[in-house]
Amino acid sequence: MSTLRHESGTRSIAVCVDDFGLHKGVNRAALDLGEKGRISSITCLVDGHAWPAGAHALKHSTANVEIGLHLNFTEDFGQNRFFRKLSRLIVSAHARRLDRAAITHEIERQLDRFESDLDRAPDFIDGHQHVHQLPIIREALIEVLNGRSTIGKPWIRSTRPPQAQAGRRLPYAIRIKSRLIAWLGAASLERLAQRHGYPQNRHLLGVYGFGANPPYADLLKIWLTGAQSRDVLMCHPALPGPWQDPLGEARAREYQALSDPALAEWIVSAGIEITPLRKEIS
């Protein structure tokens, strides 16, 4: 199925699969949803165990998707020298106690691997567990991007939550989690990105607790109903399999909802176009 479009009154949003490269189930789900036009973006963990095969598949995919770097500072994949437990990383970042040189080196290394394996620069940058917006990391990221003449101006993911009216149907716990994520650095990253000319999405949708209730399909329709043009809806789908993944059941539910044929008709009737964000900000 081609990318979904609507004749008039269209709201153009990006739907992004996070964690590509983590394992084969994520890779297969992302590529399948890309071919079906249910997503428009894929963001990559370049040290993930399934990244080498995933990079090869991305290079030969015909899906109309943009590809980004999913900066990782919290998972130990055996190749990254710098990583911290998320809670410790957050505290150290806000206390300004992170090693700026080590952070810069890690950003450079991950960008180098992305460009080497895909023969191209990323269309956008974001962070695994939203670490790209943290103090020191965000400044190092902008400095590194400014110094790479071949990379241009990728868009950088904003974690700004949906407007109150758009998210009013979401459970209270989800609204609070979304605001907390943004509180950790969205406003500061936005000012920094604007100062240096890096575009961003408008709001980030898709935050939830990865539980079975309310059903993911219901949350998906709430997010899409309230979405504005240039919003990004992040998702974490995967096909089930033998891989060790604490979010495996949630990923399977997401894939089932996103691949449901009925969703395609609902998206069209709702006047939504799923499209790469770069088309809206270029």
Q: Where are the domains of the chain?
A: 11-281
pLDDT at 282: 64
Residue range 11-281 forms a domain whose CATH class is: alpha beta
Share of the chain above pLDDT 90, in %: 85
Mean residue pLDDT across the chain: 93
Summarize pLDDT for 17-31 with one digit per residue, the tens.
999 999 999 999 999
Tell me the pLDDT band of 9, cut-offs 50, 70 and 90.
Answer: low
Whether 2 shows a pLDDT value over 60: the answer reads no
**pLDDT higher than threshold 80 for residue 159:** yes
**Would the pLDDT of 8 be above 50?**
no
pTM of the model: 0.94
Q: pLDDT category, 199, cuts 50, 70, 90?
A: very high
What digits encode the pLDDT tens for the residues 160-195?
998 766 677 899 999 999 999 999 999 999 999 999
- Report how far Cα 119 is from the mean position of its chain's Cα atoms: 21
pLDDT value of position 138: 98
For residue 252, name the pLDDT band (cuts at 50, 70, 90). very high
Average pLDDT of 110-128?
97
pLDDT tens for 65-85 read 999 999 999 999 987 778 899
Average pLDDT of the residues in 46-52: 96
Name the pLDDT band for 10 (thresholds 50, 70, 90): confident
Structure token digits, residue 225: 């109903």
Task: Quote the percentage of the chain above a pLDDT of 70.
Answer: 95
Q: Residue 154 pLDDT > 60, yes or no?
A: yes
pLDDT at 265 over 50: yes
CB neighbour list of residue 271: distance below 8 Å, 6 or more residues apart: 6, 8, 9, 10, 11
pLDDT digits (tens, 9 = 90+) for 84-104: 999 999 999 999 999 999 999
